[in-house]
Amino acid sequence: MNRINQRFAELSSAGRKGLIAFCTANFPDKQGFAQLLDELPGAGADLIEVGMPFSDPIADGPTIQRSNKVSLAARTRLVDIFSLTTEWRRTNQHTPLVLMGYYNPVLQFGEDAFIEECRQAGVDGVILVDLPPEEGADFFARAESAGVAVIRLVTPTTGSERMRLLCGGLTRGFVYYVAVTGVTGGKKAEQGKVMAHMAELRRAANLPLAVGFGITGPEEARSMASAGDAIVVGSALIRAIEEGGVQQGLTFIRRLREGLDGA
């Protein structure tokens, strides 16, 4: 079983909500990012999303844009990310890891080479924000065949028919519900609207549902988690790291974990 599916099965069995932590590769620096990978699971992250840096991250707000600039200034390439994840997998075989980013770096790397590197480096899934299923059908099919889950994004403006197109046939991973219209780290979601749309999404998708965008603290995490199976936090984690370093970021994740567990 794919590590993502296994983790969600464990969470469901325990009656717990999942915490998915996003951080851009090599942010705040190479050493700090390696520390994050090592210590996020112990701080309470059930799954880790690693951002593949890109010069024009159209779905991301100022905070994640800054982290992209830091990563690109460090000359982070896909080959470096695969090297990092390969090394990390030597000591962590259990925590699911997903790569998130944009299609252009994958195209330049080569689709088949990217899928094979994911498989060898222990990457469990991929989110490509700007590659719709109509354009990426062959790539997504090859990724799924190789055991790399295709994670689809659904937004507040996604209609029922589009939901079924996006989610139909997927058997691995989860569906990522973007709780607000706009970029990451922006306005906060309205729980009532999220709950209503998530109920519709639940009927269209036979996979766990994760809610992201606009979650900044334990109360919001707990509120948004009630609509799905997990929450995703990125911008707020990166801001915590900017303000106080990796340890402050890890403390923030611990607070979110406590909030989700009702502590």
Catalytically active residues are 49, 60
Would you call 260 helix, strand, or coil by DSSP? Answer: helix
Cα distances from 251 to residues 31, 119, 159, 255, in angstroms, run 18, 31, 38, 6
* Contact of 28 with 241, CB cutoff 8 Å: yes
Hey, which bits of the chain come out as E strands? 18-24, 47-51, 97-101, 125-128, 149-150, 152-154, 175-178, 209-212, 230-233
Structure tokens, 56: 């024009």
Say how far residue 58 (Cα) sits from the centre of its chain.
16
SS3 156: coil
